[in-house]
Amino acid sequence: MQLLFRENLARVCKFQTNHGEIETPTVMPVINPNLNFLTERELRELGAQAVITNSYIIKRTESLSEYAMKYGVHKLINFNGPIMTDSGTFQSYVYGDIEYNNREIVDFQRKIGSDIITILDIFSKPEDNYNTSKMAVEETYKRLKEINIGKDLIAGPIQGSIYPDLRQFSAELMSEAPYLPIGGVVPLLESYRYKDLVNVIINSKLHSDFSRPVHLFGGGHPMFFAMSILLGVDIFDSASYIKYAKDNRILYQEGTRSLKDIRDFPEWSPIYGKYKPDELLREKEGVRIKELSKHNLKAIFMEINEIKERIYENTLYQYVHERAHSHPSLYKAYIEIMNNGDILPYQSLSSKSPFFFYDEISFKNPWIQRIISFTINLIKNNKRTILLTKKQWKPGMNILDSVKKLYESINGNILVPWNGIYIPIELENTYPVGQMVSSDIISRSYKENYIDKLKSVNSEVEFYNDDINYKDKIRDFDHEKIKKISCFQFGTQELFSDNDKIIKSKATGHIRNIMGENNLIATMRNDGFFTLGIEGGKILKNLKKYPELRIVVPGESGEYNAKGYNVFFKFVEDFDENIISGNDVLVVDPDDNLYAVGKATVSGRELKYYNDGVAVKVHVGIK
């Protein structure tokens, strides 16, 4: 997988098959080998890059099998792009045992020229007990091992029912396969058990190889796409577009409607202007099914394209929040995601888009959780901590002279009110503090509980009052500010000293550059964080133990990076697993010689998986 863009676990990637490239996220329309309503041209015009068909149906149908063996599956279904073939697992789940074994069905898929070949896994149902589900996981892995993967794109489904440890176990085992479907989820989708489903996806994704495409088998309804993709799903397959068409139902991004219950088609629909709903109801069945199928696929790929744009903009989180309100079961699943701390390490340092605060659920967002955690740890030192009120401070407001004098005369903490919580005043410009649009819908009890939490870790917490006497100046606000931001970003305040020169923008008065004796240490970006210069890289290297904040490359690659060129995944030999995506890192060799500083494109937990693409966007090389 070549990584193009990401937001948290969501990503836009490319990978290669024998019949062309696939860009994810995407949907593979399910093609019935007995009856294909749409031509390749129509499928591609609607957005399809690849399709999926069933090798079991082909193999057990003599005429189809003979044709596919002679001319190939691409000729059989008249699609010259990437084709994935399923193995018959779902038919086995629905109808009982099938007449072919795993080796036979995999061998058949190879012979008919499938681009993505699926093993015959064991379907785990949500109601299966633990031991039955575990046996299915172990047998599925056994079947993966009994075939020679070679250079084929073999799909090894992750099973394990609704048991988190089994999904984790299965994901670790099946990561030997180059393509990873998450199986056994159709019953959860059909019964709207989205809360269970998001846990299945999280436990499958976080314990699998991130360089593999992740496919949600049967997850073909657009209302669940955004939430799935946020959790790392890359590919879906959809038979719903034609099933709904046969039932005279039409898809929209937020749900389905009956053809007889609508007045007209939306303007984006390929049917708009061609038919009225009542006219299409009177059409021949074949015509009606084809037209409705085209509409349904259009709805599917419109949602996929919107999600891709959201990932590029870094606004998928807020889009998922919007989508979650389309159904109570989706909203319950969204709350489950927000309460899951396991995805926090994958969140980037900041975003190029403002953060939308909707309600108290937004406090669960990893960006806000990082600030809350930092604040709690900061005041645990039991130094005097003063809480300002909205009269003294609000985001974007110039600090009052009285507050600045107070700050510079005490060796303590000053926290300012921000959206119902209190944060260090030094973080006034860091993302998302100065880049947030808020509804201000926060209950009084939440605010009070947060203050009680602060007081529970520091008995010296008090509110600001006008009677406080200002003493002599013992520290400088600007220097303390850059130190605190450095502590938040890099885990150390010692990147900067009181002797460093702070250069501000003449237009805005905001801090821009921090200079050492002769060299640039760092530049403050618009998101309030720092971009390191080489001097800053040297200082950090001496402050942080190897391999903290480092990405290690061999000497040859390092010489290339020292000239300012990017670091590619394939050259990474070691790294700090705690690296945050979007944060600045040091590029060094195994002897800890510094070559460059730059921005990590993924988190440390992902670095070990990718082999294709840029790992560090280098700002400046040492040469």
CA geometry: angle 436, 225, 351, nearest 5 deg:
25
Contact 615, 601 (CB under 8 A): yes
Q: Which of 76, 81, 77 is nearest to 39 (CA)?
A: 77
Tally of CB atoms within 10 A around 415: 23
Residues pairing with 258 in the sheet: 249
The CB-side HSE value for 251 (13 A sphere, CA atoms) comes to 30
Distances (CA, A) of 50 to 20, 44, 81, 207: 9, 9, 6, 26
Q: Please state, in angstroms and rounded to a whole number, the distance separating the CA atoms of residues 300 and 288.
A: 18
User: Taking the CA atoms of the chain, what radius of gyration do you get in angstroms?
Assistant: 28
* Residues 228 and 236: beta-carbon distance below 8 Å: yes
Contact 590, 573 (CB under 8 A): yes
Say if residues 73 and 112 touch (Cβ distance below 8 Å): yes
CB atoms within 10 A of CB 177: 25
Residue type, 409: S
Strands 355-357 and 436-438: parallel
Q: How far apart are CA 490 and CA 476, in angstroms?
A: 21
Q: How would you classify the pairing of strands 511-515 and 520-524?
A: antiparallel
Q: Are 225 and 186 in contact (CB under 8 A)?
A: no
Distance of alpha carbon 91 from alpha carbon 72, whole angstroms:
23
Element (H, E) at 409: helix 401-409
Measure CA 574 to chain center: 23
Supply 500's token pair: 């460093």
For 180-241, where are the E strands, in sequence order? 180-182, 214-216, 235-238
Task: Report CA-CA distances (Å) from 89 to 99, 203, 418, 440, 600.
Answer: 12, 22, 53, 50, 40
474 by Cβ neighbours in 10 Å (0-12 / 13-18 / 19+) ranks as exposed
Three-class SS state of 326: coil
Contact 197, 221 (CB under 8 A): no
Q: What sign has the CA pseudo-torsion 364, 365, 366, 369?
A: negative
Catalytic residue among 86, 234, 237, 527: 86
What is the greatest pairwise CA distance in the chain? 93
CB 434: neighbour CB atoms within 10 A? Answer: 17
> Is residue 86 annotated as part of the catalytic site, yes or no?
yes
Structure tokens at 125: 């149902």
Q: Which residues are catalytic?
A: 86
